[in-house]
Structure 1
Amino acid sequence: MESSQPLLSLLILQALFISLSSTQAASTNLFQEYIGAEFKNVRFSDVPINPNVDFHFILSFAIDYTTSSSPSPTNGNFNIFWDSDNLSPFQVSSIKSDHPNVKVALSLGGDSVGDKCAYFKPSSVDSWVQNAVSSLTKIIKKYNLDGIDIDYEHFSADSDTFTECIGQLLTTLKKNGIISFASIAPFDDHQVQSHYMALWRKYSHLIDYVNFQFYAYDKGTNVSQFMRYFKTQTSNYKGGKVLVSFISDGSGGLSPDHGFFTACSRLKSQQELNGIFVWSADDSKANGFRYEKQSQALLASTH
């Protein structure tokens, strides 16, 4: 009878390979940066880009409101509200050409239009989806964009309506090959979470990243609190890639100067760091993007 030792050794090696592959897959080097909402003349080329990370710029914002002096909802007809003078289609093409690791997305909604809240306010699911698909497809093609982020923060519709509008929008844009990735950007507010978690329950298979706004927690958050918040939100968005985040003006959450990178290192050692995103390049310009450099270096490191 032949020895089974070679077969046993082969099975052990295969198990090790699968284990290593799974571990490597659990670690990502995704870095995302929101840009353009505050009209501070920031350009893509101002932001340092580490070639060893996957870098996503997220244009902020496209909003289904009129651009007039008295903004009003348009039922899914989106207009550009970011700094399009400095962040133009030509600038998108240039940064993607200069940096093969860069993709560019747009974010929908945001907090406000001028000095008023930007509400999610569809007339009906069917009409909103039809208008949104049409208007966003034009913008995405014009700017040669890769993805879409959902950042509505105020609602004049229930969670079921939000779920169907956004879910059907993502379904159509992905099916038509208009976008290659999608993210959502909730934060810890009852109404916000009720809408996004309802969307997650039905359409999580279309959502690649959860850009959770950890900076919406209280200023002065410490590392232990942050780790608990992260655990809670990974449970809320079970199976999702929940990204950690900071706000570069230091106005909320766990700041980069007081433990954010300690928390990131801890998550990375536990194979739970899915990526980092920053709000926002507009504010970071004032300090020379030093936290962006630090974030990307951490993501790119092999330990």
Structure 2
Amino acid sequence: MFIGAYVGARPLGRPLPPLADAPTHPAVPLHLLYAFARDPAHDGMFQFYDPYQLECACSQQCGSQRGMLSLAGAGFAWGPAVPLDQWVANAAASLQALMERYNLIGLDINYEEGLDGPAGDSFAPAMAGLIGRLKAWRPQLLVTIAPFDAVWGRYKKLLQLAGSSVDYTHWQVYAELESPDTTAEQVVAAYERLAAELGGYSKLTLGVNTEPDERRGAQLPAIVEAFRVLRARGIGGAFVWALDNSCGCGYAAEAALLRLAAED
């Protein structure tokens, strides 16, 4: 089962937490999704958007933690400035170099902007081509995507083109159900709808937002209740935005998710 947490994006200016303090479980690894890698010239030449922060994170990775690289994130729009074939080739080469250098096991596609209108038409073919190249390079590479309702159409097209190569869909349910009063029943209903679209729960993960000041989405008691229900239905796991936020409350969400994921 996949349990992951984004880390390194400085949400609301928060610094990187000590990764050795993050919770662990002997039976379930914690996947750290390093946020983010971007190609500033939109040419496929990816690099850490905050090299100091993310290099520090990679160097701290320890124990059962597993590192992944997340692309783009909020504030960085899709829009290649070179021919698509060249973008895919450049992206594959630059991302392979980053993953080898920092011993990362997977890639997370997290574009949120620039996907509307004709400009977004190239997104799914480009990402499918990139995934194909990276899987040919390393067949065991873990590939995840992180859509929400406003961009779901583009990501559904990507799943049509490369669905068998995408291991998990990290649905940002807190972008759909933003109220902190969201109930477990509402969360479960959202995943019921998605499971019907995707043919099951096994490639879906439950989205959890741990922002302590501007609370967004279901809070921990409702999340735990929803995860128990969805786990019984075969959900693939859960992810947290973000470890940098969770450190202020003792990583309660990550610890609970790891514990529940390990239950028989």
1:118-137 correspondence runs (5 A): 118-123=76-81, 124-137=83-96
1:285 aligns with 2:247: yes
Q: 1:173 aligns with which of 116, 134, 137?
A: 134
What are the equivalent positions in structure 2 for 1:15-164 lying under 5 Å apart? 29-38=1-10, 40-65=15-40, 73-82=41-50, 83-88=53-58, 90-92=59-61, 95=62, 98-99=63-64, 102-112=65-75, 118-123=76-81, 124-155=83-114, 158-164=119-125
* Counterparts of 2:104 and 2:4, CA distance in 1: 14
**Cα distance in 1 for residues equivalent to 2:30 and 2:154:** 28
- Structure possessing the higher radius of gyration over alpha carbons: 1
Contact conserved, 1:148 with 1:179, CA < 8 A, in 2?
Answer: no
State how far apart, in whole Å, the 1-side matches of 2:8 and 2:139 are: 22
Instruction: Compute the displacement of 1:172 (Å).
Output: 0.4
Distance 1:46 1:54 in 2: 14
How many residues end up aligned between the 2 structures?
251
1:197 aligns with 2:156: yes
1:144 aligned partner, one-letter code:
N
Q: Is the 8 A contact 1:243 1:276 kept in 2?
A: yes
* 1:169 counterpart SS class: helix
The offset of 1:268, in angstroms, is 2.3
Deviations 1:150-175 (A, max 9, x none): 00000166444111110010100110
2:205 is aligned to 243
Asked if the contact 2:69–2:104 (Cα under 8 Å) also holds between the matched residues in 1, the reply is yes
Q: After superposition, give the CA deviation of every residue in 1:181-204 in whole Å (9 maximum; x if it has no partner).
A: 100000111xx1111011011110
Query: Which residue type is aligned with residue 301 of structure 1?
Result: E
Which amino acid in 1 is paired with 2:94? S
- Mapped to 2, the partners of 1:184 and 1:84 lie a distance apart of 20
Note the C-alpha offset of 1:206.
0.8
Gaps of 5+ in 2: none
What TM-score, normalized to structure 1? 0.78
Query: Amino acid of the residue matched to residue 49 of structure 1?
Result: T
Contact 1:148 1:183 in 2 (8 A): yes
The aligned amino acid for 1:55 is L
Does the CA-based 8 Å contact 2:78-2:120 persist in structure 1? Answer: no
Letter in structure 2 aligned against 1:110: G
Evaluate the alpha carbon distance shift between residue 198 and residue 140 of structure 1 in structure 2; reply closer, same or farther with a 3 A threshold.
same
Structure 1 residue 264 displacement after superposition: 1.0
- Structure 2 vs 1, CA of residues 46 and 86 (structure 1 numbering), >3 Å: closer, same or farther? farther
Q: How far apart in 2 are the matches of 1:198 and 1:85?
A: 33
**CA drift at 1:263:** 1.0
Shift in Å at residue 261 of structure 1?
A: 0.7
